[in-house]
């Protein structure tokens, strides 16, 4: 059935999953996922039921409707909050980390959901990150000091804005502000989030959830700028302090004599 094959491919990508990750979740072989998505085989009823439950859909949605970014549910319990997360994979079907440099930030606002645009971004792998969908964003400016301008923030894709946790840092992709790296403040009752800079010279501001296109939870960062030493925190600083104290004590003794 043509709808099933295209729907399975769309739904898998909507979660940012590789074929292997989806196979692991469904407890089937990866080769079967490829066969289903290429319309070379059809899933059995029990598997269709499991997939439908995983995506909060009805089996009728899965089999008889064409699910895409314009799709609206017609069955009770179906979710309309689906979007394809465009990703790239390496030769072993492992997801890459795509890098969005500062010069590409403006283009990303239009191309973030375009597989062709995403495929042209620089890519790399970090073996210590667990399974998930990650993207790297180069930040510009001093609003998030002590992280310097030019730092690359590596974020994990957040599917639902309600999962954002107050006090933690994220890369927010917004229509009004573009790509910003901020600390999440309190969530507002009118579906808005307070965004806070670590640099106190920048005032917090609020963005509506409808204005947010993507959210990426900060997991790591890469910088070519090394931090300056903390004043007097090194052994050299402590030694200097002790030497100064000894000198002062000696001078005091000499003054009494």
CATH of 2-64, one of 1.10.260.40, 1.10.10.10, 3.20.190.10, 1.20.140.10: 1.10.260.40
Residue 46 has pLDDT above 90, yes or no: no
Q: Provide CATH 1.10.260.40 ranges for the chain.
A: 2-64
pLDDT range class, residue 111, cuts 50, 70, 90: confident
Average pLDDT (158-182) is 93
pLDDT given for residue 85 in this prediction: 76
Q: Provide CATH 2.10.109.10 ranges for the chain.
A: 97-222
pLDDT given for residue 77 in this prediction: 44
Highest mean pLDDT among 14-18, 61-65, 157-161, 197-201: 197-201
What digits encode the pLDDT tens for the residues 127-136? 889 878 999 9
Query: Where is average pLDDT lowest: 58-67, 177-186, 198-207?
Result: 58-67
pLDDT range class, residue 256, cuts 50, 70, 90: low
What digits encode the pLDDT tens for the residues 191-228? 899 999 999 999 999 999 989 999 999 999 999 988 77
Q: Is 26 left (phi over 0), alpha (psi -120 to 50) or beta?
A: alpha
pLDDT given for residue 159 in this prediction: 83
pTM of the model: 0.64
C-alpha dihedral sign at 207, 188, 141, 113: negative
pLDDT given for residue 103 in this prediction: 93
CA distance 74 to 80: 10
Architecture of the structural domain at 97-222: Ribbon (2.10)
Which two three-digit tokens encode residue 191? 């579906």
CA distance 64 to 71: 12
What digits encode the pLDDT tens for the residues 69-92? 666 555 444 444 445 577 888 888
Q: How far is CA 213 from the centre of its chain?
A: 12
Residue 255 has pLDDT above 80, yes or no: no
Which strands sit side by side in the sheet containing 134-138, from one edge to the other?
Answer: 123-124, 97-100, 134-138, 152-157, 212-222, 169-174, 178-188, 192-196, 205-208
Average pLDDT (221-248) is 74
pLDDT given for residue 188 in this prediction: 84
| Residue % of the chain over a pLDDT of 70 | 88
**pLDDT mean across residues, the chain:** 85
pLDDT given for residue 26 in this prediction: 93
Residue 186 has pLDDT above 60, yes or no: yes
């Amino acid at each position: 059935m043509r709808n099933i094959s295209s729907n399975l491919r769309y739904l898998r990508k909507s979660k940012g999953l590789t074929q292997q990750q989806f196979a692991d979740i469904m407890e089937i072989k990866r080769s079967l996922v490829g066969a289903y998505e290429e319309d070379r085989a059809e899933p059995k009823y029990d598997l269709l039921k499991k997939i439908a439950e995983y995506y909060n859909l009805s089996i009728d949605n899965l089999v008889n409707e064409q699910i895409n970014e314009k799709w609206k549910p017609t069955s009770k319990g179906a979710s309309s909050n689906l979007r394809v997360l465009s990703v790239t994979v390496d030769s072993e079907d492992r997801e890459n980390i795509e890098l969005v440099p500062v010069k590409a930030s403006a283009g990303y606002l239009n191309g973030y959901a375009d597989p062709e645009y995403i495929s042209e971004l620089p890519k790399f792998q970090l073996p210590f990150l667990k399974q998930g969908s990650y993207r790297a964003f180069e930040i510009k400016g001093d609003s998030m000091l002590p992280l310097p301008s030019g730092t690359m923030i590596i974020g994990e894709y957040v599917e639902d804005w309600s999962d954002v946790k107050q006090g933690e840092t994220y890369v927010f992709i917004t229509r009004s502000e573009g790509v910003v790296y901020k600390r999440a403040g309190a969530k507002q009752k009118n579906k808005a989030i307070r965004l806070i800079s670590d640099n106190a010279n920048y005032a917090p501001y609020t963005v509506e959830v409808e204005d947010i296109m993507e959210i990426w939870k900060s997991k790591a960062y890469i910088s070519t700028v090394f931090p300056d030493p903390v004043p007097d925190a090194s052994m050299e600083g402590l030694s200097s302090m002790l030497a100064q104290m000894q000198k002062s004590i000696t001078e005091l003794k000499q003054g009494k004599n």
